[in-house]
Amino acid sequence: MEQTLIQALPKNEFKELCELSSLRNLVFIVLEWASILLVVQVTVVFFNPVTYFLAVVWIGSRLHALAILMHEAAHYRLFKNRKINEFIGEVFCAWPITITLKGYRNSHLAHHQHVNTKEDPDWEDGSKEDYRFPKNKNQMVYALLRNAVGLGFYSEFSDTAKSKDFNQIPLSLRIAQLTLFATLIACSFIFSFWKLLILFWVVPLITSLIFVLYFRTIAEHYGLVSNTRNTIGTFWEKILLAPYNVGFHHDHHLHPGVPWYNLPRLHKVLLRDPEYASTAHTTKDGYFRGVLKECTQLKN
């Protein structure tokens, strides 16, 4: 498989690519949370259908950004200190999207070991309509809209609930997470912010977040791709759909120890290898143009 191709890099260069910057990651986590809180405040003051729609889109995209940073924590690429890596990755990145870092790590490492096989917990073999490709344009639009309005949330939630990898976590961690959720919900009623919780957390969680997760998932492993693709998004796609260089997914599979901010540099290094340059699948015209074209190319 493509994923077994390991590129030979000079040790000093590879070590430099894997160097962690804990401060940089902390700054971006703070900025993500600050942007969410700011958007909530502004939307409450200027509340109307347009501002609320834009808020849902933005907050869902930022929850997704936190999920990408959680992914970094799953590879121990968020903070040099393991305890801080686990705490921040759990409480501020994983729990806001209602999962756990430890459960995600179990599933994600299995995904790396068994990409696009029956042993891959992330792989859908086409038995589900959303993951059956190629589609015609109407089918593709329907799949995207279905996930955008929240209809895809149930299948995502049920798959996670049934996953052995996701559920193999310490009981103490589960209790801590549920205790925090229960406390948050109780406080929302006591201090009368339960409507805000629904409008600015639950709604983005089940709509815009699921839309972005679905779109990114098909970009990484589906359509007319035998295994994995890199996707070079447009400026706004990199903000809303593929933050933190997550579009370099093929490169990440080759070298998962390289943190997100060094992935573009890794890509340039890998292009020196003629085998990589000729075999790596890179979609250069973005998600809405490139990926959707590849997913619908065989049907009109």
**Tens-place pLDDT, residues 73-99:** 999 999 999 999 999 999 999 999 999
Look at the alpha carbons of 109, 114, 153, 226 in this order and tell me if their dihedral is positive or negative.
positive
Each residue's pLDDT, cut to its tens digit, for the chain (300 residues) gives 344 344 556 778 888 999 999 999 999 999 999 999 999 999 999 999 999 999 999 999 999 999 999 999 999 999 999 999 999 999 999 999 999 999 999 989 888 988 888 888 887 766 788 888 889 999 999 999 999 998 888 777 766 666 665 668 899 999 999 999 999 999 999 999 999 999 999 999 999 999 999 999 999 988 767 678 999 999 999 999 999 999 999 999 999 999 999 999 999 999 988 889 988 999 999 999 999 998 886 554
Taking the mean position of all CA atoms in its chain, how far away is CA 214?
A: 9
Q: What is the DSSP letter of 131?
A: G
**10 Å Cβ neighbour count for 261?**
17
> In Å, how far are 4, 148, 205, 266, 272 from 212, measured between CA atoms?
28, 8, 11, 25, 32
Residue 295: what residue type? C
Q: What is the pLDDT of residue 124?
A: 77
Judged by DSSP in three states, 231 sits in strand
64: exposed, middle or buried (C-beta count within 10 Å: 0-12, 13-18, 19+)?
A: buried
Entry pTM: 0.92
b/e for 166-195, b at 16 or more Cβ within 10 A? beebeeeeeeebeeeeeeeeeebeeeeebe
Q: Is residue 98 within 8 Å of 205, Cβ to Cβ?
A: yes
With a CB cutoff of 8 Å and minimum separation 6, the contacts of 71 are 104, 108, 246
* Angstrom distance (rounded) from CA 101 to CA 87: 9
Task: Output the DSSP codes for 250-298.
Answer: HHHHH-TTS-GGGHHHHHHHHTTSHHHHHH-EEETTIIIIIIHHHHHTT
Q: What is the radius of gyration, based on Cα positions, of the chain?
A: 19
